[in-house]
Structure 1
Amino acid sequence: MTDQPLAGRTVIDLTTALAGPYATLLLAGLGATVIKVENPATGGDSARNNAPYVGRDGLSLAREDADDMSVSMLVRGRNKQSVTLNLKNPRALAVFADLVRDADVVVENYSPGVTQRLGIDYAAVRELNPKIVYTSISGFGAQGGPGSGKAMDSIIQALSGVMMTAGEPDEGPVRFGLPVGDMLAPLFAVIGTVSALLQAEHTGEGQHVDVSMLGALTSLVACEPFDAFDAVGLPQRTGSMVPRLAPFGILPAADGHLALCAPTDGFAHGVLRAIGRPDLIDDARFRNRDQRVRHADELHELIRQWCRARPLAEVIDAFTAEGVPAAEVREPRDAVRDPLVRKREEVVPVTHPRYGDVADLAATGVPIRFSSARAGFDRPAPGLGEHNDAVYRERLGYSEDELADLAADAVI
């Protein structure tokens, strides 16, 4: 797909697990050639051993056949080339140097200090290729952070404050089901990488792009003025409803739940008409936003009782007929099968490299549409080391004897 935005760019992918591989997945979906470097001594990316697995007979919780592949890898490995290289082997440095000399980007998500110990940190890579963009994704930044411990998603959610923005006021912290700590940092990493590539076009110099999971998530927490809410006495945790925007929140219907968003006078008056209470539009309690916020509990209970007695479809139809934003709360399995997101390829089928679409599973697409370029995935995830020959022999020019010697010495 040579008409993709990053076609012709080469990314050396040193990442594992989720945050790093998601960033390089997006770069691959935008057209970059992504060469995924995996350690043969450990079985490659840790995601290769994440249950469930997909094989000839569909899904299973344990690997039952050599062709079985982890769903995680089937999703995160698309459009990437896999080579094996044990960076702890001293001979690997020369191979790594050959990889990065003509590359545009290196992406890594090691713990702080690891790349320096291995001799593959930004300073070392810059000596080989001054124009390289070297992107680091870590829990707390390239220099480390609180205890410099492992930055799992739940740790980042806990430290960012986001766990205390959802749930009822008298409940304990709420962990988001989507691993937002792991998935936000890669988005900023891609923004930073592409920005640095643009700058390098003008300056001829690359740079180190440093993105932390904690910083990425906390920056979004700071985008909503929770500290200001606290200072003026507005509750930060309000459960399913948002009193400061009343009427606003999640409401039960007879056979499901809906999201209702009606913070303006026009929307709020539409809600009152929809529930058959136009007489309340001129009620002093609900006439304007400030008064609705003061009487939010009373207003929400009025709407809740009306919704609870009716089927979800009827409720949504009544609100939308009045121009009020309302939608059903979907299960994830239904949401990822929405015809609109499928048509736009924002969600796409999971494809096994040998058996095709065997399990009716959904995977992320590239949720960006261009008017004059393409984005997306046209190749399934690779097996471990599947592209050793293509990269080492065809791209780098290694001979058969050299490859055999590297393999014999457990370098690749």
Structure 2
Amino acid sequence: MTDQPLAGRTVIDLTTALAGPYATLLLAGLGATVIKVENPFTGGDSSRNNAPYLGRDGLSLTRRGEDDMSVSMLVRGRNKLSVTLNLKNPRAKAVFADLVRDADVLVENYSPGVTHRLGIDYPAVRELNPRLVYTSISGFGAQGGPGSGKAMDSIIQALSGVMMTAGEPDEGPVRFGLPVGDMLAPLFAVIGTVSALMQAEHTGEGQHVDVSMLGALTSLVACEPFDAFEAVGLPQRTGSMVPRLAPFGILPAADGHVALCAPTDAFAHGVLRAIGRADLVEDGRFHSRDQRVRHADELHDLIREWCSSRPVAEVVDAFAAHGVPAAPVREPREAVRDPLVRQREEVVPLAHPRHGAVADLSATGIPIRFSGARAGFDRPAPALGEHNDQVYRERLGYSAEQLAELAADAVI
């Protein structure tokens, strides 16, 4: 696709697991040529060994065939070229230098200190290619963090404070089911990378883009003034309802749950009319926002009682008829099959590269629509080292003899 925003850009992908590969997946979906560098002697990207697996006979918790692939890799590896390179082998430095010499971007998510030990940190790479944008995604930033400096999503959620923003006030911490710590940092990494590329167009100089998982998630926690809420006596954790925005929250219906968002006077009055209590619109307890916040429990009890005996569809329709924002609470399987997100390719079908759509699976698309460009995925995830010949021989000009020697010396 030559009409994609990042067409013509080359990204060297040294990432593994989720945070880094999600960033390079987005860059690939925007049109960059992403060359994924994997160690053949450790099985490549760790996500290649994440259950479940997809193969000829569908999904399984264990591999049943030689070409079974992890669903994680099927999602994160799309539109990427996979080459093998053992960066711990001294001879790999020359190959690595050839890869980055004409690249535009390098993305890595090693633990702090690893790139220095391997001789591929930013100062070393800058000597090879001063225009290169070198993007690091780590738990705590390039300087490292507490303990080992290694981070997993739950560690980041715990340290960011986000675990104490959900759940009931008297409950323990709540871990978000979606790995927000792992998935938020890549978004900032892509923003930083594209911004640095734009700057390099003017200055001719690349730079080091440093994004931490902890900083990314904590910055979002700071978008909501939880410390101010605490200072004025508003609870930080309110469970399914949000008293400071009343009426607002998740309400049980007869056959499911409904999300209700009615913080303004117009919306709140619409709720009262929808539940047959138009007589309360002028009630001093519920007429203005400040009074509704003060009487939030009372208001929410009224709405909850009305909703509990009615099916979700009826509740949503009643609120919609009065212009109130409300929606059914969906299961993930239903949500990713919404015709709207499918039509916009924000979620797309997922297939095995050899066996096709042997299971009904969904994968993330590129949730950005351009008026003058395309974005998306048109190639499946690669097998480990599938593109060694294409990249090393066709792109870098290595001979068959050189490739055979590098393989014999455990370099690739």
The alignment's TM-score, normalised by the length of structure 1, stands at 1.00
What amino acid sits opposite 1:226 in the alignment?
A: F
- The unaligned stretches of length 5 or more in structure 2 are none
Q: Residue 145 of structure 1: CA displacement?
A: 1.0
What amino acid sits opposite 2:68 in the alignment?
A: D
What amino acid sits opposite 1:166 in the alignment?
A: A
Q: Residue 149 of structure 1: CA displacement?
A: 3.1
Instruction: Give CA deviations for 1:208-263 in whole Å, capped at 9, x if unaligned.
Output: 00000000000000000001001111000000000000000000000000000000
What amino acid sits opposite 2:333 in the alignment?
A: R
Q: Residue 109 of structure 1: CA displacement?
A: 0.1
Counterparts of residues 8-407 of structure 1 (less than 5 Å)? 8-407=8-407
Q: Extract structure 1 runs of 4+ deviating beyond 2 A.
A: none
SS of the aligned residue for 1:218 comes to helix
Instruction: Give CA deviations for 1:99-121 in whole Å, capped at 9, x if unaligned.
Output: 00000000000000000000000
Q: Residue 155 of structure 1: CA displacement?
A: 0.1
Inter-partner Cα distance in structure 2 for 1:13 and 1:190: 13
SS of the aligned residue for 1:252 comes to strand
SS of the aligned residue for 1:146 comes to coil
Q: Residue 370 of structure 1: CA displacement?
A: 0.1
Instruction: Give CA deviations for 1:10-53 in whole Å, capped at 9, x if unaligned.
Output: 00000000000000000000000000000001010000000000
Inter-partner Cα distance in structure 2 for 1:44 and 1:311: 49
Q: Is the 8 A contact 1:112 1:142 kept in 2?
A: yes
Inter-partner Cα distance in structure 1 for 2:384 and 2:144: 30
Q: Is the 8 A contact 2:140 2:149 kept in 1?
A: no
Inter-partner Cα distance in structure 2 for 1:312 and 1:103: 53
Instruction: Give CA deviations for 1:307-327 in whole Å, capped at 9, x if unaligned.
Output: 001111111000000000000
SS of the aligned residue for 2:351 comes to coil
What amino acid sits opposite 1:98 in the alignment?
A: D
SS of the aligned residue for 2:110 comes to coil
Q: Residue 150 of structure 1: CA displacement?
A: 1.9
Inter-partner Cα distance in structure 2 for 1:77 and 1:339: 25
What amino acid sits opposite 1:172 in the alignment?
A: G
Q: Is the 8 A contact 1:229 1:235 kept in 2?
A: yes
SS of the aligned residue for 2:41 comes to helix
Q: Is the 8 A contact 1:252 1:258 kept in 2?
A: yes
What amino acid sits opposite 1:345 in the alignment?
A: E
Inter-partner Cα distance in structure 2 for 1:311 and 1:229: 35
Inter-partner Cα distance in structure 2 for 1:379 and 1:333: 24
What amino acid sits opposite 1:40 in the alignment?
A: P
Inter-partner Cα distance in structure 2 for 1:313 and 1:264: 23
Instruction: Give CA deviations for 1:89-146 in whole Å, capped at 9, x if unaligned.
Output: 0000000000000000000000000000000000000000000000000000011011
What amino acid sits opposite 1:357 in the alignment?
A: A
Q: Is the 8 A contact 2:112 2:149 kept in 1?
A: no
**Percent of residue pairs bearing the same amino acid type:** 88
SS of the aligned residue for 1:354 comes to coil
Q: Is the 8 A contact 1:35 1:83 kept in 2?
A: yes
Inter-partner Cα distance in structure 1 for 2:321 and 2:350: 38
What amino acid sits opposite 1:84 in the alignment?
A: T
Equivalences, count: 412
Q: Is the 8 A contact 1:140 1:148 kept in 2?
A: no
- The unaligned stretches of length 5 or more in structure 1 are none
The alignment's TM-score, normalised by the length of structure 2, stands at 1.00
What amino acid sits opposite 1:401 in the alignment?
A: E
Inter-partner Cα distance in structure 1 for 2:85 and 2:361: 31
What amino acid sits opposite 2:3 in the alignment?
A: D
Q: Is the 8 A contact 1:112 1:148 kept in 2?
A: no
Inter-partner Cα distance in structure 2 for 1:21 and 1:358: 24
Instruction: Give CA deviations for 1:259-296 in whole Å, capped at 9, x if unaligned.
Output: 00000000000000000000000111001000000000
Inter-partner Cα distance in structure 2 for 1:145 and 1:103: 30
